[in-house]
Structure 1
Amino acid sequence: MFQLLIVDDEASVVDSLADTLPWPEAGIGSVYKAYSGFEALDILKTNPIDIIMTDIRMPGMSGLELLEEVRRNWKKIKCILLSGHAEFEYAKQAIQHNTFDYLLKPISDEAILSKVKHAVDVLQREREESQSYQRVLKALEENLPKLRAELLNELLQGVKYSKQRLTEKLDLLKMSIAPDCPFALMLVRMEGQLSELDFYSLSLMEYAIGNMAEEICEGYFHLWPGKDVYGYLVFVVTVTDEKQAELAQTENRRETVENQLQLMASQLQLSVSHYLKGTVSVLISKWGSFPDDMNRLYQDSLLSLRRRVGNQSGLLIYVSDEMEQQPVHSLQRLYEPPLLIHLLESGNWDAAHEKLTGILDELHMKWADSAEHLIEVFFFVYASFSSFAHKNGRELAQMIGPVLSDAAGLTACRSIAALENWMFQSFRRLQQCMENETRNNRENAVRKIQQFVQKHLVEDVSLQAIADHMYMHPVHVSRIYKLETGENISDYVLRLKMEMAASLLADNTLKNYEIALKLGYQNPNYFIKVFKKYYSLTPQEFRLKLEEGK
């Protein structure tokens, strides 16, 4: 959906067009309103406008002058001129400014929607055909192996995606695997001289092993290759559609598939030894359902590698359900991404709170009476809080207080209730400390903005001038001011100018045009119009009312 800006000095025209037409039918998601060329420029600086529909004759800045600014700074915006003046000179100037279309008042709603829809269609076509769009597609194609490997690593580490979101990512990456598809993991550990190669040679060797695995499994298995955080090659193995159809009537289908995978893993070991003069150990997991069993099967494989392979080399291991047989398990929620420290550093307080809640839920379910697990969680969370404080130039005691930051005696680990109380008290104080700092920074920024506006009220107080003074982007300036004060900067500037105008009108020696010039309005008629819109009185009527009140 595209963004439309309607500009006209007649407020009734702008409001009627913006509020009554079914813009979504024309492909428009948002409609912005401006009642002067200057107000339109402010909106353009803070919003991603795609189409402008503007009147030609406006006080202060005409529609053609506005289009000249648009062409200078926003070349891709489509401009439609809407005017009641049919003179050829206007049309000629509009053509010079590369105006997309030119409409004469009065015009029907259907015609306006049709013209805007045409502009939307052209923008959509340009977007699809643009070089930048093609470059993005090309970059995506070139980086597909890397992006696929990154997604694989996320799933191995336990990152959760909704079914819809995962399906979208798999489709984007052109993956043949789908949710609930049966799969197995195959881990390959390079050993001996292969593990001692330099980075460049190691990359070539990994590429070669991946190609060998693809060739050996071709026709029977699909492989999704990647490399985990330990440097092991990881392959997600699924049976091809053709082979599944062939095996549909086979007895002991699962056993047949497992035997075939083990045979191909053995062939991979032999090929690496023969062609690459190296040694690898291969681990094949049990079969599971994608993606729910990814992390569990991966952890099973790592445990088997530690226990059954160790320092030996050239082994082929079929992994059993070793994790389920262990009396003690590690805490999954504590270490699965995103980590607590990363959520804190990104300022995602809701997700960080959810992370802490998930850790405690896992403790309650499985390890509420385990002193070691309580201490493990305490030190992990304490380290995350301390690291966050230090990266913000503070000591932890400054942010959460000396009592909560005191780890002596490990009082917070004596029970799960004590740990929960410590975690959330510390978290709330940490969050409050950062929010206070952010609020103070915003308040200081707003104070500086207001001081600048008050000092330069009759000079240049455009959004860009304020942003330059603050060394900020105009969008950021506009947002923090609105967030902190509840009003737009343009409304604040207008309010100050109108209050100053009201004060100057009390001086009968000043003419209206003199007051307009004092306020920075070069066009007295435009000043009168703005004043009347603000006070519902003309300057002269306002002055008479002041005299009556004396």
Structure 2
Amino acid sequence: MLRLLIVDDEPDIADGLHTLLQERFPFEFELYKAYSGKTALEWLRRGKFDIVMTDIRMPVLSGLELHKHIRSLWPRCKVVFLTGYSEFDYVYEAIHYDNTSYLLKTEDHETILETIGKLAEDIAGEQQIEGLMAKAMQQMEQTLPLLQNELLSELLYGEASDTLDRSDQFEELRIPLDPKRPVLLMMAKLMGGDFGTRQAGKAQLHAGMKVIDEQYGYSHLHMKYIFVDKDTMVWFIQPAASHPEEQSEEPASWSGILLAVREYAENAEAACLRSFDISLFCLLDRSPCEWEDIADRWAMLEHEYHRQSGERNGVVQVEFDETELSRTKMLRKTDLLGEYLATGQAEAFDSVWKRITAEPVRLESVYSALSLVFLRHIHRFNLQERLSARTDLSVLMQPSGVQLDPASWIDYYYRLAITIFELQQQDQAERRDRTIDLVKSYIHDHLGEDLSLVRLSEVVQWNPSYLSRAFKKVTGTNVLAYIHETKLKEAMKMLFQPDLKIHEISAALGFISPPHFTRFFKKASGHTPQDYRALEERCKK
């Protein structure tokens, strides 16, 4: 539903346009009106509007001045100036802006309705996915290096989603690597210089590293580097598809590649020293790894860097302790499980769970780590009583659980996770339903007041668009239709009371005038309020 604001310091004009548009577009627009530019600006600061119809000459804050605020607050908002023949020169300046047009106040109703209908169609066209995607692709061309850096950094730190197709991501971001083949990591620390303190120096360094990479890279290798912070770089390295060693995943077959990478690193170090007076200290992984193990290898490279003592320069090929590597992998994955439990990411949890339970590791370490993850979560969210009613939690406290058949306790933990996710979904649904009930109660109790989507969202502190979708999902109808239905029912009840005047009922239900109420009631019920009251009186007799 689009939001339209009518602004005119003559109430009759504003009210008339409001009634005209409400009758023609009862469900297409959420209509608002303001009798001054100042009041209109208050509305605009409370939420986004799609169309604003405004008089051009108003005291205190003119239409042109309001237009400047609109351009600043909501640049995509369509503005229609209402003007007289004598004011055309005055409005000429404003209509040169995008999304701005004008209507003469003498135009007939059909012309006004046609103009607003056309603007609604234009907005719908702009919102089409194809148009948005085309613009997004243009913007992505400019931000591609940043997006590449962001995705590869997320992979390094284990933050990338496991539920997305990584091949599609790499293709979309034009990352020259294959996520289905092993990759070799090399870390480099930049030592010395003041590149980290000057913005110009940073730009020069980034440009220089690009030149160095192009000059000393190899055609048979795909090497993609990123900066993870101001003085740390990481290279992701794979053989090109045409390279014979690409066919093998055995570490021994990578010996030639490792030699080439060492030579590349030495050349890059010498070039950095000559060009920027900066030394490179490179740590080269001993062998390639699968992409799902990237975060573990990166953690070990960082750990190894801090373990290095003495003069840090040159290229060092790292040999990892297998026990330490296995422990690092397990800790990181169990930490991820805890994070996914807390944030309700069931699919991501399932993906990491399958990797953990598929690895040949010591059962004691897995059991203990998982127990800690679940105990922390249960304590943090106070779930002990609710979970105890569904499952036996004593297994979490018993070290003897490691004596169980592995398949049994693995199944126990997985079912426990499913139960936790079910409770989360139940809680979310209950919170949503309570909020919608609050909105419905507010509507019933404030029928004569502001019931705009903006106001209702302020009452429950939700985003207006989210509230609109949630209301439709829970009730099966949209907010405006529910308000109309509620007002109609209340009007019928009030018409049973002969001492209440029509204008009193109209005011109590928030209609701008008795004629407006009459039109609404007749359209909804098929009778005028007077006829309906008379009909009810005859039925009583």
Q: TM-score, normalised by structure 1?
A: 0.61
2:517 to 523, 527, 530: 527
Residue number in structure 1 paired with 2:246 = none
Aligned-partner Cα distance in 1 for 2:195–2:399: 44
Deviations 1:137-189 (A, max 9, x none): 79x96x8776544322223356455222222234xxxx666777997432336
Q: How big is the shift at 1:524?
A: 1.8
Counterpart of 1:536?
A: 526
Aligned-pair distance for 1:270? 6.2
CA deviations 1:191-238 (Å, max 9, x no partner) are xxx69x999689999999988866655423175434669x96422347
User: 2:49 and 2:493 mapped to 1: Cα distance?
Assistant: 37
> What is aligned with 1:547?
537
What CA distance in whole angstroms lies between the structure 2 residues aligned with 1:365 and 1:119?
51
Deviations 1:481-510 (A, max 9, x none): 444444434333333322222123223454
Aligned with residue 382 of structure 2, among 363, 388, 395: 395
Are 1:409 and 2:406 matched, yes or no? no
Distance 1:397 1:268, change over 3 A: same
Equivalent residue, structure 1, for 2:367: 375
1:458 and 1:520 in contact (8 A); partners too: yes
SS at match of 2:173: helix
Which of 468, 491, 495 in structure 2 is aligned with 1:501? 491
Decide whether the 8 Å contact of 2:283 with 2:305 is kept in 1: no
Deviation of 1:339 after TM superposition, in Å, equals 2.1
> Does the C-alpha gap of structure 1 residues 219 and 497 become closer, same or farther in structure 2, counting only changes over 3 Å?
same
Separation in 2, partners of 1:80, 1:201:
50
Name the SS of the counterpart of 1:187 in structure 2.
strand
Counterpart contact for 1:14–1:35, Cα < 8 Å: no
Deviation at 1:527, TM superposition (A): 1.0
In structure 1, the residue matched to 2:336 is 339
Answer whether contact 1:14 1:33 (CA < 8 A) is retained.
yes
Q: CA RMSD in A?
A: 6.2
**After the TM superposition, which residues 180-199 of structure 1 pair with which residues of structure 2 at under 5 Å, given as runs?**
184-188=184-188
**2:151 counterpart residue number:** 151
110 and 77 in structure 1: CA distance in 2 versus 1, 3 angstrom threshold: closer
In structure 1, stretches of 5+ residues that fail to align are: 16-31, 55-63, 245-252
1:453 matched to which residue of 2?
443
- Name the amino acid aligned to 2:284: L
The one of 374, 385, 409 equivalent to 1:419 is 409
Following superposition, the deviation at residue 45 of structure 1 comes to 11
CA contact (8 A) 2:22 2:31 kept: no
- In structure 1, what is the equivalent of residue 28 of structure 2? 33
Identify which range, 4-13 or 265-274, moves more after superposition. 4-13
Residue identity in the other structure for 2:405: S
Aligned position for 1:167: 171
Q: Specify the alignment match of 1:490 in structure 2.
A: 480
1:219 lines up with 2:215 in the alignment: yes
Q: Decide which of 346, 355, 372 is 1:362's aligned counterpart.
A: 355
For residue 385 of structure 1, what is the aligned residue in structure 2?
377
Q: CA separation in 2, counterparts of 1:96 and 1:541?
A: 52
Amino acid in structure 2 at the alignment position of 1:397: Q
Is contact 1:284–1:301 with CA below 8 Å preserved after alignment?
Answer: no
In the TM superposition, what is the alpha-carbon distance from 1:37 to its structure 2 partner? 5.9
Amino acid aligned to 1:407: L
Residue type matched to 1:220 in 2?
Y
Note closer, same or farther for the CA distance 1:412–1:486 as it changes in structure 2 (3 Å cut): farther
CA distance in 2, matches of 1:71, 1:150: 34
- Give the secondary structure class of the aligned counterpart of 2:480: helix
Moved more, 512-521 or 86-95: 86-95
User: Compared with structure 1, are the counterparts of its residues 232 and 95 closer, same or farther at alpha carbon in structure 2 (3 Å cutoff)?
Assistant: closer
| 414, 420, 436: which one aligns with 1:430 | 420
Instruction: Map Cα deviations across residues 236-289 of structure 1 (whole Å, 9 max, x no partner).
Output: 347899x99xxxxxxxx998765443223334566788986968353255578x
Shift of 1:425: 3.7
Q: Could you say which residue in structure 2 is the equivalent of 1:280?
A: 281
Match of residue 101 from structure 2: 100
Could you tell me the percent identity over the aligned residues? 18
Q: What's the CA shift for 1:523?
A: 1.9
Letter of the 1:151 partner, please give it: L
In the alignment, residue 280 of structure 1 is paired with which amino acid? Answer: F
Contact between 1:212 and 1:271, CA under 8 Å: does it hold in 2?
no
Contact in 2 for aligned 1:284/1:318 (Cα 8 Å): yes
Q: How many residues align?
A: 472
Indicate whether 1:77 and 2:77 are aligned. yes
Change over 3 Å in CA distance of 1:470–1:87 after alignment to 2? same
**Corresponding residue SS for 2:264:** helix
What TM-score, normalized to structure 2? Answer: 0.62
Tell me, yes or no, if the aligned pair for 1:504 and 1:515 is still in contact at 8 Å: yes
| Residue 106 to residue 336, structure 1, CA distance change in 2 (3 Å) | same
Contact map agreement 1:378 1:412 (CA 8 A) in 2 = no
Give the Cα separation in 2 of the matches to 1:228 and 1:74. Answer: 35
Q: 1:498 to 1:382 in 2, by over 3 A?
A: same
**SS at the partner of 1:339?**
helix
> SS at 2:371's partner residue?
helix
AA in 2 matched with 1:520: G
Distance 2:533 2:126 in 1: 52
Q: Partners in 1 of 2:30 and 2:212 — Cα distance?
A: 69
Kindly provide the amino acid, as one letter, of the partner of residue 78 in structure 1: K
Aligned AA (1:264): Y
Give the partner amino acid of 1:541: D
Instruction: Give 2:364's aligned amino acid.
Output: E
SS in 2 for 1:234: strand
Local SS of the residue matching 2:185: strand
1:531 CA displacement: 0.9
Residue correspondence of structure 1 range 302-313 to structure 2 within 5 A: 311=308
Shift of 1:44: 10
Alignment-mate amino acid for residue 262 of structure 2: Q
